[in-house]
Amino acid sequence: MPEMPEAILQARDLVKHYPLTQGVVIRRTVGAVKAVDGVSFDLRRGETLGIVGESGCGKSTLAKLLVNLERPTAGEIRYRGEDVTRLSRRALKSVRRNIQMVFQDPYTSLNPRMTVGDIIGEPFDIHPEVAPKGDRRRRVRELLDVVGLNPEYINRYPHQFSGGQRQRIGIARGLALRPEIIVADEPVSALDVSVQAQVVNLMERLQDEFGLSYVVIAHDLSVVRHISDRVAVMYLGRVVETGTDEEIYDHPTHPYTQALLSAVPVPDPESRGGRERILLAGDVPSPADPPSGCRFRTRCWKADERCERETPPLAVPPAFRTAGGPVAHASACHYAEERLVTGAAAGPAEV
């Protein structure tokens, strides 16, 4: 068996709670929004980990934790084996250089008053050691070229570009410091469907060219499928299922993943493998007051009182244990294996 590449970034029981306050004059903390509430995963060198979940499940908060824009309430982020949540400011600066973020909305994340050259070159102000002053414009022109934009555009402003081109600018900026890891928070969700594939293709090409490791976040399973080696599905601040893209897309074991997948439009309904569309009951509960036990139970057709009482750990279902791939397909559901054993299509409400 080929040796597994090293885990370059590891999350261990990551938690981010935002205090929930009441009152204007006298502010009191009345609770906490549990935006991220116990997330663990490994990102291996050169691979792409897709993170998927509905709006509000904590994806952007997780992204900010990973690039050290936010400090976790608890848990560890290990970069090359070292816990970065405990580093001094100085040591953290060099870690930050190696883990860059690409933001969701290229319309709002680029300063409209700065030229493209200044936007892409701005990271050099914080890390002047990467590009000496006299060399910066050449570097920026090179970066424009690398992301498929004309280097002659260096003095233009963001409004002179299309959405897809602006996201290319955002990606060029993310590449400026030659990071090892890029965390991309819904990099194509603000773009027209027709240009989404171009940006995803660009990201794949850059990954090969620069040996990048990616965390790519999306609310849409179809976007992540194309680019991911492995996928983690999030619900209410937690990972509910993780596996290779084949495992997640062809053999989803968590009811939430099954429901998400059933909503993805497929060109040929036969290829859904007889799976019906699952409509989930109710809304996502508030992350300030998540359900006891399994957080998905209030919307799950399999839930019983055990799910109310016991929190299902993210575990490998017994039926999978012998299959023994190096990276486990794990599911946080007490009844994850059942569908495997019976092979029955899941879901009570069909369209």
Residues of this chain that bind ligand ADP (CB under 6 A): 18, 33, 35, 53, 55-61, 287
Identify which of 160, 11, 138 has the alpha carbon closest to the alpha carbon of residue 74.
11
Specify whether the CB–CB gap between 63 and 30 falls below 8 A: no
Nearer to ligand ADP, 101 or 131 (CB): 101
Size of site (CB under 5 A) for Mg ion: 2
Choose the contact partner of 224 out of Mg ion, ligand ADP, none; CB within 5 to 8 A by kind: none
The rounded distance, in Å, linking the Cα atoms of 243 and 232 is 7
Which residues inside 45-74 make contact with Mg ion, applying CB under 5 A?
59-60
Nearer to ligand ADP, 56 or 151 (CB): 56
**Bridge partners for 34 per DSSP:** 17
Specify whether the CB–CB gap between 275 and 345 falls below 8 A: yes
Residue 7, SS3? Answer: strand
Choose the contact partner of 187 out of Mg ion, ligand ADP, none; CB within 5 to 8 A by kind: none
Identify which of 305, 258, 265, 297 has the alpha carbon closest to the alpha carbon of residue 279.
258
| Nearest distance in Å: CB 296, ligand ADP | 15
| Nearest distance in Å: CB 204, Mg ion | 22
| Nearest distance in Å: CB 114, ligand ADP | 25
Nearer to Mg ion, 60 or 228 (CB): 60
| Nearest distance in Å: CB 59, Mg ion | 5
Tokens at residue 95, please? 């870690």
| Nearest distance in Å: CB 185, ligand ADP | 7
Choose the contact partner of 285 out of Mg ion, ligand ADP, none; CB within 5 to 8 A by kind: none
Cross-sheet strand order for the sheet of 28-44: 28-44, 7-22, 74-79, 82-83
Give the CA-trace dihedral at 56, 59, 61, 66, to 10 degrees.
180
Residues that bind Mg ion (CB under 5 A): 59-60
